[in-house]
Amino acid sequence: MASVKLYQKDGDAKAVQMQEGIEKKFGYLPEVFQAMGRNGDFLDSLLQLNTAAGKGLDPKTKELIAIAVSAVNGCEYCLSAHRAGAKAAGVTDEEITAALEVAALMSAFNNFNKAIGLKIDIK
Give me the CATH number covering residue 60: 1.20.1290.10
Is there a single domain that holds both residue 22 and residue 33? yes
Is there a single domain that holds both residue 66 and residue 118? yes
Is there a single domain that holds both residue 26 and residue 72? no
Q: What is the pLDDT of residues 17-30, one digit of tens each?
A: 999 999 999 999 99
Q: What is the pLDDT of residues 56-100, one digit of tens each?
A: 999 999 999 999 999 999 999 999 999 999 999 999 999 999 999
Count of the separate structural domains present in the chain: 2
What helix, strand, coil percent values describe the chain, rounded to 5?
70, 0, 30
At 3, is the secondary structure helix, strand, or coil?
coil
To the question of pTM greater than 0.75 for the whole model, the response is yes
Is there a single domain that holds both residue 13 and residue 37? yes
Is there a single domain that holds both residue 62 and residue 46? no
User: So which residues are the catalytic ones?
Assistant: 75, 78
> What domain range is 66 assigned to?
56-123
